[in-house]
Structure 1
């Protein structure tokens, strides 16, 4: 009985050693970096969604601005990398209630070689009334570029605010 147990434990230990994949070079494709939203990385997905829905406070007297950070994962190319941030068609916020800086383009600049972050400023207008409906603005990283690929899990982030 002891031999059977020791044989089984040895077999499990041997399988455990061979099951490990020690090839750490497969984490990133060095030819195509990934791009992701930082708020999507650090915040949990909202109920019923695959992305976080964050609240932006605004009132009838003042609007608000939020910088949406975009991260570049992997090797930075030798030239500037512009990343378009698009508004998802499922957005319920009126287009007149917000603006994105630089036309929604975040640029990873070669003039900052040690920085793999860029940002787009979201400016929310003041609310029309204190009982105005809440609108949701969903931002998506453009996936048509050949310079990068959007991260599947973190390519979308949402903001809610009074319109």
Structure 2
């Protein structure tokens, strides 16, 4: 069992490098007004390991649980959701952030809260702001469409 741990750590470090490059390319593409990533240029994660996606809103009541449900059954992804508020149904933890390959927050304030509370832990994880306001109920069809479009375009998924 102990022999597996270094391999897992080594594999995780390789995934972080790919994700870091992906987030840097995405940021640069946005500066230049280029549509990136597109499915043909999407970097592949080694061994086809699923990406761990963490969705965050304030109370983990409507938006982030909907995002988790929408992406839960995708074969290339694993999803979780959490909230930043002390009153959240499931409060985000450092373990959640370490688990995540990419974090999707609903608003800028959620990114700010993550950076304030988990600065060093979140520093190595790409954080994407979806700009989805708190005006939807759980599994609202409009919210589902927004999540599919925005997360799908960031990850280069159909």
Give the TM-score, by structure 1 length: 0.27
Q: If you compute each CA radius of gyration, which structure gives the higher value, 1 or 2?
A: 1
Compare relative contact order (CA 8 Å, sep 6+) and give the higher one, 1 or 2. Answer: 1
Task: Name the structure with the higher strand share.
Answer: 1
Higher helix share goes to which structure? Answer: 2
